[in-house]
Structure formats: C-alpha cells, structure tokens
Structure 1
Amino acid sequence: MTSNPRRGPYICGIDAAMDVVTGKWKSLILWELDNHGTRRFGELKRGLPGVSEKMLIQHLREMEQDGLVHREVYREVPPRVEYSLTEHGTTLNDALRPLGAWGTKRSQRLAAEHELVS
C-alpha cells in the first residue's frame, strides 16, 4: 500500500490541510462523494473523467488512511466495495467550499477577459 510520506511537523494549519488534499484528484474525489453520496469504484471513475485507475486507487487509499473516506467491502459475489465520506472528510469538504467559490469567480473573470481579447 502506498502511503503519503509527509506527516508534519507543519508550519501552519494550511500546511497540515494541504498535506491531505495534495494531488490533483483528492479534492475532486471529496466533491464527488459529497455531491453524490456513497459511490462504487466504477461510479467514482466515471464521475472523474481523466483519472487513471491506478491514481484513483492510490488517492482513495491515502484518503482512507487520513480518515477522510470510508471503504466498505461487502462479501458478495461479485464483490462490492463502496466509498463514502467520513465526518472528517465532510468537514474538510466544508472548509474547501469557499475555495471552490473563489475558483468559480476566477474562472468567470478569466473567461470574461478572454472574451475581451477575442
């Protein structure tokens, strides 16, 4: 299992927070689980176009280790595995919402500037 090599000491709270969301897909996985609830691996993969299976597995494992995601294995044939946010993951997602709002405004501003240039 791959583990995140960084675990403090941290310079500040932002440093500690970024340690668990570093990686292109982690914040998007949080968003996907927050908006759609419990998801199976294939559903997550379809909801995140462009993510490789290897990267999704790696990020989900790291997020499980960090207590952000819960992995539930059902002993069925065929086996079923579902992922959901933990309370810790939900609070992190709540903290990321203002950053997402900022990003939306930035995207709109950049699009408007592009329109002026075109």
Structure 2
Amino acid sequence: MKSDSGSNTLKYVSLVTLTVQNALLGLSMRYARTREGDMFLSSTAVLMSEVVKLGTCLSIVYIQTGGLRQLFDTLRDIIIRQPVDTFKICVPSLLYIIQNNLLYVSASHLDAATYQVSEK
C-alpha cells in the first residue's frame, strides 16, 4: 500500500512540475522575444539549449559507466558502430530543431494566451 501512495505522489508532483515548467517556458520565451532592447537570435537559443542537454546526457552516461574511457567506449558502441540507428535518430532531431526555431518565431508574433494555446 505504501508504494502505491508514493507512486501516486510522484505522478502528481511530476504532473505539476511539468505543467509549471511548460507554462514558464512559454511565458519566458514570449517575454524574451518581445522586450525592448537588443534581440538574440532564436537559433542561438536553440543551439545553447541543445548544448546544455548534451552536457547533461554526457554527464549521466559518465556517471553510469564509471569513467571517461567507458564513456567513450559507450559512445563509440552506440553512435559509431550503429550508423543506421544513429541516422534514425538524426531525422527526428532535425525536425525538433526546426520546431524549436519556429516556437521562437511564434513567440515573437503571437500574444501570450494564443501562444500557450497553439504551442502544443
């Protein structure tokens, strides 16, 4: 019984966290694109977010594998030695980058409420 209670709590905490994160992402993106002053390139923001994700993923793999040598071995085994699987991941990744750039364009041109409704 106790694990069911903990599982339900985790589900609701995850739901609330993702809801707040999604709302704050849209609002902060809208604010950043409509404020006065110098504007940044949306492609730079998308690139930097992907660099942060890459760093996070590499850190997790480093911790799981137990060392730098094992990290490189794992990356070689998964990325280099499986080119078909790598290509299958590259296509959706490219579409995801285009989608993120378009989200910045829409944040620049739509009001906040319309952006939140049309975002997903």
Greater share of strand: 1
Query: TM-score normalized by structure 2?
Result: 0.26
Query: TM-score normalized by structure 1?
Result: 0.26
Rg bigger for which structure?
2
Greater share of helix: 2
Which structure is richer in relative contact order (CA contacts within 8 A, separation 6 or more)?
A: 2
